[in-house]
Amino acid sequence: MTPRAQYRSASVPSLYLDPQIRDWVLFPITLVMILVGVLRHYVVVLLQSSPSKLPRAAIREQRALVRSNVLRATSANSPIPLHFYQAISQDLSKAFAEGTYLKDGPPKQGEQQAPPNPLSDPAAMDGMMAGMRTQMVMMVPQMIVMGWINFFFEGFVLIKLPFPLTLGFKSMLQRGIQTSDMDVRWVSSLSWYFLNFFGLNGLYRIILGGDEGADATNLAASPFAVTPQVGQPQDFNKLLKAERDHLELAEGMHKWIGDDVETRILKRYGRL
């Protein structure tokens, strides 16, 4: 760059934006993105299937671990004497070993314990489909809007930021424009789209209230997020069997708070 060119670019604005760009490109893009976000929120709400109801056996299976956790949590200062504690603890341990709490009943003798296949369980399938549907609703409108901007407004410069920025922002603010010399303060249409895409969440939260479905940075819903791992259904049989060791350990630590309560009371009243 010659000294003269440097002088020119610093003093005289090198570029004028047609006000029509502001009225017919900048505002429409912003407006469309807000509206799409709001619409998407309502579509997601509509698509949300009510949580499927669990049969009794499944609830029981899920809460079996809670039972042992609750019991173990009290063992060091247990409210019940060892006799009752052992009754509950050993009963649980036996039930875990036999698989009484399993949703499908105790596993049969000799049956190969294959890890459950997520595709074979209709309940897990439903959850997966719901996740994919939500993701589609998140992605498709964004792709359409992006295509629309790319098709009609490719290479448009929309606004000039009112503050200087370093060159590092060039790739962020001038996406779609292949000029190496242009001041970083100019923002291209595609970059404006991305700025809106990530920046509008706060606005959605105000419009829709709460942290709602339109939030694109919502990890599971963002088109840029890695597809969330489909929750591997838990193998309760293994979990419960492992829990037996914990139960045994906790039983060893059992101490009833009633053991020396009489001395504590007598001391408190100064009789000992």
Partner 1 sequence: MDLASALQRHTNSSTKNTRASRQFFESGIVIYRNNAWHKLGDDSWQFLESLALSAIDNGRIDIAEGCLDHLTAGFPGSSRVQCLEGILKESRDGPEPALRFYQQVLEADPSNSTIWAREISVLRKLGKIDLAVDQLSKFADTFYTDVEAWLELADIYASQHQYTSALQSLSHVLVLTPQNPFYVLQAGETAYSAQDIPLAMKFFLMAIEMAGDDNDDATPPPPTGITMRAWYGVELSAARLEADPTLATSSPSKTRAPEHLPRLRKLARDVINSAQAGRQDVESEVSSRWLSR
**Which stretches of the chain bind partner 1, using CB under 8 A?**
53-56, 59-60, 63, 66-67, 70-71, 74, 77-81, 83-85, 87-88, 257-258, 261-266, 268-272
Closest contact distance (angstroms) between CB of 254 and partner 1 is 12
**Secondary structure string (H, E, C) spanning the chain:** CCHHHHHHHHHCCCCCCCHHHHHHHHHHHHHHHHHHHHHHHHHHHHHCCCCCCCCHHHHHHHHHHHHHHHHHHHHHHECCCHHHHHHHHHHHHHHHHHCCCCCCCCCCCCCCCCCCCCCCCHHHHHHHHHHHHHHHHHHHHHHHHHHHHHHHHCCCEEEECCCCCCHHHHHHHCCCCCCCCCCCCEEEHHHHHHHHHHHCHHHHHHHHCCCCCCCCCCCCCCCCCCCCCCCCCCCHHHHHHHHHHHHHHHHHCCCECCCCHHHHHHHHCCCC
Of the two residues 137 and 250, which places its CB atom closer to partner 1 in the complex?
250
Of the two residues 61 and 215, which places its CB atom closer to partner 1 in the complex?
61
Of the two residues 73 and 129, which places its CB atom closer to partner 1 in the complex?
73
Closest contact distance (angstroms) between CB of 262 and partner 1 is 4
Of the two residues 48 and 217, which places its CB atom closer to partner 1 in the complex?
48
Closest contact distance (angstroms) between CB of 81 and partner 1 is 6
Closest contact distance (angstroms) between CB of 172 and partner 1 is 43
Closest contact distance (angstroms) between CB of 266 and partner 1 is 6
Of the two residues 71 and 200, which places its CB atom closer to partner 1 in the complex?
71
Closest contact distance (angstroms) between CB of 20 and partner 1 is 47
Of the two residues 140 and 253, which places its CB atom closer to partner 1 in the complex?
253
